[in-house]
Structure formats: structure tokens, C-alpha cells
Amino acid sequence: MASRLNTWLFLLIGFATWAAGPAAQAQDPAAKSKAKPAVTTVYLVRHAEKDSTSDHADPTLSPVGLVRAQALRQLLAKRHPAALFTTDTKRSRATIAPLAEATKLEPQVYDPKETTALAVRIRKEYAGKTVVIVGHSNTLLPLIESLGSTPPVEEIADDEYDYLFTVRIADGTLPTVGVRGYGPERKLADAKAPRSN
């Protein structure tokens, strides 16, 4: 009788330990640290097309550039950015203006020569959030490098305004970068593409 009681007691303790295992792990701080790391998403674009008839030192946007700025708003407002960054030029400010209006965020001016400082600030102040950066053809690729990734293109030509780079940063992994196009010509290309049935 005593041996049966010991067997039942042993089984009961074993079952209780087994059943408490997942609950104990849920309370364990080490188990929580294995949760998926927060991802910081950084969207980078060049300013939209500039008006060649305006001030050559600091031109404004052309009509096509204004349409592209609206396309940026439509594309990224739904991503709910936590911060907007722009260089201190009329064309960059005008490119981010529609998105700033939609998100009610004040664009923050950054120095495009200080890409490392901006990258450190984003990692520190906006970890796990989304930010948008407007820059220039000669500053975006160094900024992607400062964020810890390899640029997906070697250069941005003078007539290329439709690149949208996406850098994703998560602790414990190397940052990734993707590239796609955006803007009015993309809609035209999609409309002309043959549809499959």
C-alpha cells in the first residue's frame, strides 16, 4: 500500500512539474528575452525633381517633383512614421512637406555630411519605430552605409528620383536594405502592364 501511495505521489509531483513547466517559462525573464526584437524601419528618398528655372543655388520643386512629393505622402503616411528628417534645402523640405502635413510631424533638419551622427540618433531615439529621411543623390548611399547596410546600387544618377530605400534594423542581426521605385511614372507603368486572367 505504501509503495502504491509513493508511486501515485511520484506521478502526481511529476505531472505537476511538467504542467508548471510552460507557465514557469512564461514568467522567466530569460524566456521573455527570446521574444522577437523590435525592428527599426528607415525609409530614405532623394528629394523630388527640382525646377531648373528657379534659383540654381537652392532650387524649388518642378511640377513633376510636386506630384512625386504627393506620391511619397500617399505611400508612407500609412506607415505612421515617428519622425521625419530632411536636409536644409527648398527641394528637400518641399519633398517632405505633404507627408509632414499628413502625419502632423515637424521635419527635423540634419546635416547630410554627418551621416554617422544621424544613424546613431535614429538607433538611439527611434528604436523599434519608423522614420523617413529625405536627402540627395550623393548623400543617401553613405547614409545607408552609416546605418550598417550595403547600398543596393552603386550610384544615383542625376536624373533618378524614384528610388525608395528601406533599411530595417533589429538587434542581433545585420541590417537589411531593400529598394523599390515610387512616384507617378510607376502608376503609369503599372497601368500599361498587361493583366493576367
Say how far apart CA 132 and CA 138 lie, in whole Å: 17
3-state secondary structure of 102: helix
- Cell numbers given for 141: 548611399
Helix H or strand E encompassing 90: helix 90-103
How crowded is residue 176: how many other Cβ atoms within 10 Å of its Cβ?
14
- The distance in angstroms from the start CA to the end CA of the chain is 76
Indicate the CATH number for domain 39-189. 3.40.50.1240
Say how far apart CA 44 and CA 157 lie, in whole Å: 16
Nearest Cα residue to 43 out of 142, 166, 137, 152 = 166
Predicted model pTM: 0.77
Give strand ranges (E) for 21-159: 39-46, 83-86, 108-109, 130-135
**Local mean pLDDT, 10-residue blocks, the chain (197 residues):** 48 49 50 73 97 88 96 97 97 98 98 96 97 97 97 95 96 94 68 43
Mean pLDDT computed over every residue of the chain: 84
- Cell numbers given for 95: 519633398
> What is the tens place of the pLDDT at every residue in 20-61?
555 444 555 554 556 777 999 999 999 999 998 888 889 999
Please answer whether residues 98 and 77 qualify as being in contact, where contact means their C-beta atoms are separated by less than 8 angstroms. no
